[in-house]
Amino acid sequence: MLLLVFLLAFGLAMDAFAAAVAQGASGRHSLSGALQIGAAFGVAQAVMPLFGWGLGQAFGDLIRAVDHWIALGLLGFLGARMIREGLAPADDEPVKKLTGRVLLVTSIATSIDAAAAGVTLPTLGAPVLLACAIIGTVTAVLSAAGVYFGAAAGNRFGKAAEVAGGLILLGLGLKIFVEHQFLGG
């Protein structure tokens, strides 16, 4: 159960990690900046699944019968989108400095996936608040580290991280679907 939550957290964190790597690669890699980026991304990733979970709870009776299809569809869609973005050629647009409003907007934008994934949290069998805390913590740590990783390695690994995150989300969606549809999960 916790392994699945950590895998989900890792997959969801990859958008934020890629943005943090880009910040580091662009030469913005101070300790305070890395901690700000990590905290902003982590908080957004921890809070957004609660919104998705709340929607799932509000419509629980309707969702329970098809939760495995929803998990497959949402996680499959999110994973495929991340893979597509990770495989797309990099744009030559300069990286905006992540501070203030830009950091807030970027944090929310990279955590929209987490809101959608929040609907699927009950299928993992973990307490929702624990899952949200793990998702937020993993994102915060990876994002703060991503700033320094980007400074050391450049921007080339951000795309690979998105592909890896997408593959993890696809795999989780398939696992939930197979367990619920064929194994009585």
Q: What is the pLDDT confidence band of residue 136, given thresholds at 50, 70 and 90?
A: very high
Give the residue-averaged pLDDT of 29-54: 92
Q: Which amino acid is at 8?
A: L
What is the rounded radius of gyration, in angstroms, for the C-alpha atoms of the chain?
A: 16
- pLDDT over 90 (residue 41): yes
Q: Which amino acid is at 38?
A: G
Both tokens assigned to 43: 């908080």
Q: How far apart are CA 6 and CA 9, in angstroms?
A: 5
Q: What is the pLDDT of residues 9-26, one digit of tens each?
A: 998 898 888 888 878 877
Both tokens assigned to 147: 């700033």
Tell me which of 37 and 81 has the higher pLDDT.
37
